[in-house]
A and B are shown apart, each in its own frame.
Chain A
Amino acid sequence: METFLQVLANGLMLGALFAIVSIGLTLIFGIVKVVNFAHGEFLMIGMYLTFVVTGWLGIHPLYTIVIVAPLLFLAGAATQRFIIQPLMSARDDHIQIFATVGLSTALINLALLIFGADIANTPSGGLRTPVEIGPVRVLSGQLFILIAAIALVIGLRLFLQKTQTGRAIRAVAQNRAAAQLMGINVNRIYVLTFGIGAACVGLAATLIAPLYPTSPNIGTYFVLTAFVVVVLGGLGSIGGAFVGAMVIGLIDSFSGFYIGSDLREVAVFGVFLLILILKPSGLFGKSLNLSHVSP
């Protein structure tokens, strides 16, 4: 029983980790409708920024959020404005995908050039302290990730529901052409949304960097799972991404322990395919939105 609970706790913590990485992606994927393959590299940049700023200012890694998240916002907004937006007029959406793949490779190699292939260690700042909750043990840093993921989901939801800008973002997501006719500056909304999505990744990076060594290709470790989570949760559904991440985390943890470490990915992707076959729009996805097809 104790073991079962520990496996459960490990799964939830892993789920929270996937959730915090995926929330930004679901915004970008669901609203800007861009498959951003450089998402993992935004995380990598955020982690290096956390590493650099922590060492530079000598502050606790979590405090770097006030610097890292705005910088990532700018990076995201710039990506949308200067790379994606000029390609929006291209008739074929695939061109944007290749652009983000190119961006991803360029960023990895840039990091290699600046930081080298070796790992960079952000000081853990006490976030690796085990916390005992009943019979299970988790790290304080993992609990922070869980709390931050929940707070982020609630915060973004409030923002999208209650504010004028949030409503504009949802309007653009629902129907780009109609939103434009209503006087919404669609390009501005896209730039803003991409920025917010990237800033969410910045938040994730400051929480993850103290727990995982940073390397130029750290983003690739997360990005595939993040896409799975986003599709599983339903494109653009923030709550869905959270639930999807928990599902993936739990399957990963339980299959890893009860079936075998080498079969974890088989279990995760097997369940993923099964859910998609049964419910093609994902767990919380609405029926297919084709607004981006019309110019």
Chain B
Amino acid sequence: MKLSSLLKATTAAVFLTAGAAHADVKIGSLYPFSGQLALLGEESARGLEIAVDELNAKGGIQGEKIVLVRGDAVDNNQAIGEARRLISLEKVAAIFGSYSSARSIAASQVAELSGIPYFELGAVADEVTGRGLKYLFRTNPYALHMGEMIIDMTVKKVAPALGKKPEDLKVGIIYEDSSYGTSVSNHQKEFAKKAGLNVVVSSGYPSNTVDMSSLVLELKQAGVDVVLQTAYQNDAVLFLQQAGEQGFKPGAVIGGGGGYSTQPTADAVGHDKIEGVLDVDFTQYLVNTKATPGLEGFVEAYKKKYGISPRSGHSLTNYMGSKAILEALDKAKGFEPDTIVEAAKAIDIADGTTATGYGIKFGANNQNDRAKMMGMQWQGGKLVAVYPDEAATAPMKIGK
């Protein structure tokens, strides 16, 4: 599988290079295309592919056709190997990627040493931009934005709906205890403290747990009103099921990330049981498109190219980030690393003008400071946007 995708990418690249009359500009597309993370890795890469198609249809960038060269970051070691191959063998002008934070952290180190720009479009760990790299940029919202949006929504929407003041609201924070859950929960605690929320339970658990009943009992005993869970899929399903079965019905459950946003989770838990559960994640598709211009066009292009509807918001997030970067490159002169960095730094896109709703302006550490997550709710078996108000397609249903 690994070899075949590699061969395919290489032959495709060779073929395209041979076929093009004028000069092409090569861009690396580095995602996990096989292995455990393949599903959402592939989904993420599709966003980049659609952005490239769109720009190529308009004549490419700086008059040159963009050619994507795939690298399969199936694990951290291979992410490094593939980044090296893309840079030294394929001579890409920049690398775009990478869905997984661990892959991104490993591969961007290689790009940094070679002085090749690395654009992260989807990884959420703090450490991606927290390392002071010069050639790494991140367009998407990360763990901090997730924590921020969850607490913001709790204070402004959930507390009033439950008829409580923020300081009277008993909050339980539970999280899977790898670096993902830990960093999001730390941001949650920070923002909760600032907002004066009363955090009564804060507990981590291994994501491969097969039983969460004692944690459910702990939350129940503490009289928790709002549960904030940062989870992968298995533990999100397990918590929602066991909470229901142990008769624990908090005022609201707000999930963060992956596990809470996918349809299989809702199917596993049951549409009636997941009804009303809130979720904060990348912008998904059932949003008010006035706040996300370009979203409908993206979905259309996606369906046309791949024959199905987008499977998650990852493709959209990657599309938005890569499109903005490529458009900025179009305005630059040449594809020297420093020219690319300069062009990226000059990007200034306002909120409300992109397909994901947020704008782009790189701040300290080259993180997009305008990036934001969105608040959603499971209603009738579908994940609909409910917060912030301008992006909402349905009112938040909450309260006893």
Residues of A within 8 A of B (CB): 3, 6-7, 10, 14, 17, 109, 112-113, 116-119, 121, 128, 130, 137, 139, 212-213, 215-218, 220-222, 252-254, 256-257, 260-262, 264-265
Contact = CB atoms under 8 A, between A and B. Distances in A.
Contacts of A221: 208-210, 234
Interface string B242-254: 0001110000000
B328 to A, nearest CB: 34
B177 interface: yes
Given A118-B264, A215-B234, A221-B208, A112 B38 contact: yes
Contacts of A264: 205, 214
A139 B234 contact: no
Contact of B39 (A117, A212, A260, A262): A117
B186 interface: no
Given A112-B38, A253-B211, A256-B214, A261 B245 contact: no
A264 B214 CA distance: 10
Given A6-B217, A253-B214, A257-B218, A116 B208 contact: no
| Candidate in A3, A17, A213, A220 with the most chain B CB atoms within 10 angstroms | A213
A118 B245 contact: no
A265 B391 CA distance: 43
Nearest to A208: B210
B6 interface: no
Given A112-B38, A257-B214, A3 B208 contact: no
Contact of B267 (A6, A109, A121, A222): A121
A128 B241 contact: yes
Interface of A (DSSP majority class) = helix
B268 interface: yes
B181 to A, nearest CB: 11
Contact of A10 (B1, B37, B211): B211
A113 B264 contact: no
Contacts of A262: 177, 203-205
B363 interface: no
Given A137-B245, A215-B234, A14 B211 contact: yes
Interface residues of B, number: 37
Given A128-B241, A139-B245, A216-B36, 20 more contacts: A10-B217, A14-B210, A112-B38, A117-B38, A118-B39, A118-B262, A119-B233, A119-B237, A121-B264, A137-B246, A212-B238, A221-B209, A221-B210, A254-B214, A256-B213, A256-B215, A257-B214, A262-B203, A264-B205, A265-B206
Contacts of A217: 36, 208
B308 to A, nearest CB: 14
B210 A7 contact: no
B236 to A, nearest CB: 10
Ordered nearest first, which 10 A-B pairs have the shortest CB separation?
Answer: A256-B214, A257-B214, A10-B213, A262-B204, A221-B208, A261-B203, A261-B205, A121-B268, A261-B215, A213-B268
A220 B210 CA distance: 11
B35 interface: yes
B221 interface: yes
Contacts of B238: 212
A215 B37 CA distance: 12
A212 B35 CA distance: 22
B211 A119 contact: no
Nearest to A113: B1
B205 A10 contact: no
A10 B214 contact: yes
B208 A220 contact: yes
Contacts of A7: 214, 217
A73 to B, nearest CB: 25
Contact of B217 (A112, A215, A257): A257
A218 to B, nearest CB: 8
A117 B210 contact: no
A256 B212 CA distance: 9
Contacts of B262: 118
A112 B208 contact: no
Nearest to A139: B245
A253 B213 contact: yes
Nearest to A257: B214
Nearest to B267: A121
A252 B211 CA distance: 9
Contacts of B264: 118-119, 121, 213
Contacts of A6: 217, 246
A89 B158 CA distance: 66
A130 B213 CA distance: 13
Interface in B184-238: 203-206, 208-215, 217-218, 221, 233-234, 237-238
B214 A119 contact: no
